[in-house]
């Protein structure tokens, strides 16, 4: 059985809130898939799941996409 990738895990959490098809590269906020309240709730879920603290305030090229969030989590887990 194949182990779930980090992107798959992030996508699964997001799909709890929005049961819609989207690409891992899609900016979910700009496409209207999630709103600002969803973002806060999703970030909270991700922080609990991965035992991290996400902060995107200083990210210059921030996009609320599965791939971007997975990369951010990966960097935080390496610390």
Domain ranges of the chain: 6-18+27-78
3-class state of residue 41 by DSSP: helix
Nearest residue to 19 via CA among 43, 38, 40: 38
pLDDT in tens, 39-55: 999 999 999 999 999 99
Residue 14 has a pLDDT of: 94
Single pTM value for the model:
0.89
- As to burial, measured by CB atoms within 10 angstroms (0-12 exposed, 13-18 middle, 19+ buried), residue 22 is middle
């Amino acid at each position: 059985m194949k182990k779930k990738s980090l992107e798959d895990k992030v996508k699964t959490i997001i799909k709890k809130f929005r049961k819609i098809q989207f690409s891992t590269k899609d900016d979910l906020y700009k496409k209207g898939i999630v709103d600002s309240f969803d973002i806060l709730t999703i970030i909270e879920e991700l922080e609990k799941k991965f035992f991290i603290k996400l902060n995107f305030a200083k990210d210059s090229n921030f996009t609320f996409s599965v791939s971007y969030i997975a990369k951010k989590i990966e960097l935080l887990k390496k610390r």
